[in-house]
Amino acid sequence: MAGFDKNKIHECLIAVSNDSINRSQLTELVRISRLIIQSYLINYRSKVLNLISRNGITITDLSYDCIADAFARNGENKFHIVKKFIFSLSQDINEIKDLNLFLAYKSFLIKIADAQLSKLYSQTDPIGSKILRNVKDVVRLSDKFRMVKNLSGLTLVVINSDGLFCKPEFPLEKIITEFSMNGNESDTNSLLERLHQILINQSEYRRSVLLTDVVSLFKKYFSVEINDASEENELLLLSPVHNDGFEEYETLQVKQKVENYIKEKILLDYFVKGKINKEEAESIYLTIRDIINDWYYGVETKDSIYNYFTAHQELGKENYLKNYRTKVEYLVKLARDEFANYLLKEI
């Protein structure tokens, strides 16, 4: 971060505040902002990135999504999100020191990146997201753990264990080894109790674990339930999208908008970046289009997304599960969300 021209950043943000930023200044501010976000993601949030990368989402993709959020324009064509940050500063932007403004702006960008990570995580791993929420709910009332937020994300810390912060992190692999996978616990409270015992009965490592590591641990424990839940999640994705109360031409417009959105998503996020070839892109698009058609016409959907996919590309189920399932399910969820969002906008 020392290499950034903090005075230049200050000048650019002042220009944003009074709506006078020119193209050159905007380009430079966007470039610096992207580098700040990428540095944060690479250095501090690599574990979460590993969880979402299986859907073909890269650090560059995520960084540009964050930039799009930060530099969104309102109806008056103004950068209202960045301006909101500027007006929230404790000092006038013309008076604040360059370094203090840089640190505040960096914190602002990190919050946007964290919000994007949370959104993507819930979309790409709904089971893990549900476990994460359960753990947070239990810890909120716990007398054994407290939740601490740092640059690496939320961390579960054993209460009254601050003296061990200088110790190395407890390796997840070691916790998994000690955390018996053959227990009878079926609720989050019991599993956290077992984790607590592992942490307090040792002094070699910190008595803390990243929340994302806790989720990974519990997912391994609930492996059978997760397989069942994945099938239930697929049925939920394919369930009807209700469009009662809308004229046919209205839902037809929504259908076409969602199809175009998915086509653009496949093109830009997968095909252009070389993650899939032309034939795969067409098969995936036609699969999503067929599902959207069934939602639109209100007909009964097929038993699985795999059945939709194999109508356009012949392959075994093992191959589908290994190479296509997560991408296609992610896009089905995006399509479903877009379909619902467009309908809500019309209400």
Give the model's pLDDT for residue 345: 47
End-to-end CA distance of the chain: 47
What is the spatial distance between Cα 260 and Cα 303, in angstroms, rounded to a whole number? 25
pLDDT value at residue 272: 86
Q: Strand ranges (DSSP E) for the chain?
A: 145-150, 153-158, 208-210
Q: Which two tokens stand for residue 123?
A: 């979309």
The angle formed by the CA atoms of residues 240, 51 and 325, to the nearest 5 degrees, is 40
State the chain's maximal CA–CA distance in angstroms.
67
Length of the chain: 347
The angle subtended at Cα 96 by Cα 91 and Cα 101, nearest 5°, is 100
Burial of 331 (0-12, 13-18, 19+ CB in 10 A): buried
Residue of 192, 152, 167, 203 whose CA lies nearest to 41? 152
Using DSSP bridges, classify how beta strands 145-150 and 208-210 pair: parallel, antiparallel or unpaired: unpaired
How many angstroms separate the CA atoms of 183 and 198, rounded? Answer: 14
Between CA 185 and CA 193 the distance in angstroms is 10
232-236 long-range contacts, Cβ below 8 Å, gap at least 24?
233/126, 233/127, 233/329, 234/304, 234/305, 234/329
- List all residues 6 or more positions away from 193 whose beta carbon is below 8 Å from its beta carbon: 144
Rounded to whole angstroms, the Cα distance separating 233 from 200 reads 36
Q: For residue 5, what are the CA distances in angstroms to 8, 128, 322? A: 5, 40, 46
- Contact between 256 and 337 (Cβ < 8 Å): no
Give the helix/strand (H/E) hosting 329.
helix 325-346
pTM score of the predicted model:
0.59
Provide the residue ranges of all domains of the chain, joining segments of one domain with +: 6-124, 128-221, 226-346
Alpha-carbon distance 237 to 339, whole Å? 12
| 204 secondary structure, DSSP code | S
What pLDDT score does 109 carry?
A: 96
For residues 346 and 245, the answer to whether their CB atoms sit within 8 Å is no
pLDDT of residue 163: 58
pLDDT in tens, the chain (347 residues): 446 789 999 999 999 999 999 999 999 999 999 999 988 888 888 777 666 665 567 788 888 889 999 999 998 999 999 999 999 999 999 999 999 999 999 999 999 998 888 877 776 677 777 888 889 999 989 999 999 888 778 899 999 876 566 788 888 888 887 776 556 666 888 899 999 999 998 888 889 999 988 988 888 776 634 444 454 456 666 766 655 445 666 678 888 888 999 999 899 888 887 888 999 999 999 999 999 888 888 777 887 889 999 999 999 988 888 888 878 888 888 888 777 666 544 43
